[in-house]
């Protein structure tokens, strides 16, 4: 009735392996795309180089949204300028680092067909996501105060 979750010793189903490889490919495309951009000197708006529209929240309220500067943070982080990346959007820096670490880990897992170390636990993933969200919100408040 209940199917056991894969352990480090059990092979992952082929569909899971393809999904992990797909996530890794998406992460790799994001990293390559961000590396090809030039950081916007404003500290946000770098995504507009991709033909995307300016932030609607920022246009209507005059204040940056929680994700404003995330693309700029990725671009600075991938160029090794972590101070400017953190100033643009700390949550963006953390997302970029997670992607840099995650891409090879996902590819290794897909290639091996099993978790290379311990399988990710839902509680740990939930706690990590919660901490990341708190950092994003606190950083947003910091940027709102500094830009007011």
Q: What is the pLDDT of residues 68-120, one digit of tens each?
A: 999 999 999 999 999 999 999 999 999 999 999 999 999 999 999 998 877 77
Please tell me whether residue 108 adopts helix, strand or coil conformation: helix
- Could you give the dihedral angle defined by the CA atoms of residues 102, 103, 107 and 108, in that order, rounded to the nearest 10 degrees? -50
Q: What is the pLDDT of residue 121?
A: 83
Predicted confidence band at 3 (pLDDT cuts at 50, 70, 90)?
A: low
Q: Where are the alpha helices (DSSP H) in 1-148?
A: 14-36, 56-61, 70-78, 82-88, 90-112, 122-146
pTM value surpassing 0.75 = yes
Measured at the CA of 143, the angle between CA 142 and CA 148, to 5 degrees, comes to 105
Mean local confidence (pLDDT), 55-59: 94
Contact assessment for residue 106 and residue 120, using Cβ atoms and an 8 Å cutoff = no
Mean local confidence (pLDDT), 115-132: 86
Q: Give the separation between CA 17 and CA 111, rounded to whole angstroms.
A: 7
């Amino acid at each position: 009735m209940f199917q056991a979750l894969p352990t480090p010793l059990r092979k992952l189903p082929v569909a899971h392996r393809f999904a992990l490889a797909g996530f890794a490919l998406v992460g790799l495309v994001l990293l390559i795309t961000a590396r090809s951009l030039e950081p916007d000197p404003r500290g946000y708006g770098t995504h507009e180089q991709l033909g995307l529209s300016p932030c609607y929240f920022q246009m209507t309220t005059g204040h940056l949204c929680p994700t404003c500067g995330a693309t700029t943070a990725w671009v600075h982080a991938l160029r090794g300028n972590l101070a400017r990346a953190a100033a643009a959007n700390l949550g963006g820096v953390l997302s970029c680092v997670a992607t840099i670490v995650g891409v090879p880990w996902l590819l290794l897992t897909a290639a091996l067909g099993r978790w290379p170390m311990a399988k990710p636990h839902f509680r740990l993933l939930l706690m990590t996501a919660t901490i990341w969200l708190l950092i994003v919100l606190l950083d947003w408040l910091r940027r709102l105060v500094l830009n007011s």
